[in-house]
Amino acid sequence: MINNPECVACGSRRWEDLGRRMFRASDLERADEYTRKRLRVLFEAWIPRALEAEFAFVMCGDCGFVTFVPRPNEGELREKYRILAEQGDPGYNAAADDEGEDRRARALFRALAPFAGGSRTRILDYGGGNGRLLLPFARRGCDCCVVDYNDSPLPGIRRLASVLDEVPEGARFDLIVCSHVLEHLGDPASMLCRLGRHLQEGGFAYFEVPVEIWKGPPRMSEPVTHINFFTESTLRILLERCGFVARRSGTSRHPDLRRRMAVAHVVAQRNGASDSTDTGAGVEETRRLMSPSWAARLRRAFWYPDLIPGAVWRRMTR
């Protein structure tokens, strides 16, 4: 475990404390299956023989990126996936008829349709599981590939490799998708630099991450699934550091309405000309999410009206 990590977004080590969370081995008895498997990783591999583990959530004072310390190193992250595989955890393997994933796929198609060049477009989904998100493109004749450990791609999707290092050096793509991947990685900057080399000149890449900072540090039942906590600003800062230039970005509710979280998304190009991202704006955005204004709270309430008691909702919407 790393006690003083480098910020994955800007490279700084100037951390500010946001709060602490305690996890206990006894939680295994009450946890659901998903959480139980990840708590086993924590107490059997990352901090073996411990009965409890306390993590400090910290914010980069230079750019606003959030993580926790101590933070797992690359070897511990590899051990995580080995243990999960031994426990029969399939990872991302959405069914072709999953309604929530269908919403995600349609939202992705709408976002990238202006940048797709038609049926001859070559698309790569890095970490895309069985390729579920690319089905709308595949139906229109695009050459759709995935890089993922999942070895059962859906019809119309071609599995190119299990890891990025196995992709042929000369392989180039018009569109690259990296959706809900960066929050899992120990060194996302290194991966992004390598991924960018597979983007065709003039091509576009789409990045999406969950925004889990809201009225305090991220709330989570285990510290194993996600280790990076981005905002739209810190995602842009990371991408610029790796040679990408944002052409379009935003924050919205998750397309799968069952997931009550916001997502940040960026459409970017490689090695374009752009003004430097203001890292101070990243700090300001994280602070706003930690202590949201009433306008921000009201917007979040409209995203998830089912979370608000009926009488309160009627007063808010009169």
pLDDT at 225 over 50: yes
pLDDT digits (tens, 9 = 90+) for 64-85: 999 999 999 999 999 998 888 8
The secondary structure of residue 43, as a DSSP letter, is I
Helices 294-303 and 310-317: crossing angle in degrees, nearest 10, is 120
Using pLDDT thresholds of 50, 70 and 90, give the confidence band for residue 156. Answer: very high
Give bridge partners of residue 207 from the DSSP assignment: 178, 266
Residue of 199, 201, 176 lying closest to 123 (CA atoms): 176
21-25, 241-245, 254-258, 292-296, range with the lowest pLDDT: 254-258
Spell out the residues 6+ positions from residue 288 whose beta carbon is closer than 8 angstroms to its own. 296
Cβ atoms 224, 42 nearer than 8 A: yes
For residue 153, say if its preceding peptide bond is cis, omega within 30 degrees of 0. Answer: no
pLDDT at 13 over 80: yes
In this structure, the strands spanning 52-60 and 262-270 are unpaired
Coil, strand or helix at 182:
helix
Average pLDDT score over residue span 26-35: 91
Average pLDDT score over residue span 186-212: 94
pLDDT of residue 318: 39
Averaged confidence pLDDT in the chain: 87
Q: How far apart are CA 17 and CA 15, in angstroms?
A: 7
pLDDT digits (tens, 9 = 90+) for 232-284: 999 999 999 999 999 999 998 877 667 778 899 999 998 755 555 677 889 99
pLDDT of residue 206: 96
Average pLDDT score over residue span 123-144: 92
Q: How far apart are CA 284 and CA 95, in angstroms?
A: 39
Domains along the sequence of the chain with CATH: 15-86 (no CATH), 99-307 (3.40.50.150)
Residues making up the chain, counted from first to last: 318
Cβ atoms 270, 288 nearer than 8 A: no
pLDDT at 317 over 70: no
The secondary structure of residue 98, as a DSSP letter, is -
pLDDT of residue 314: 44
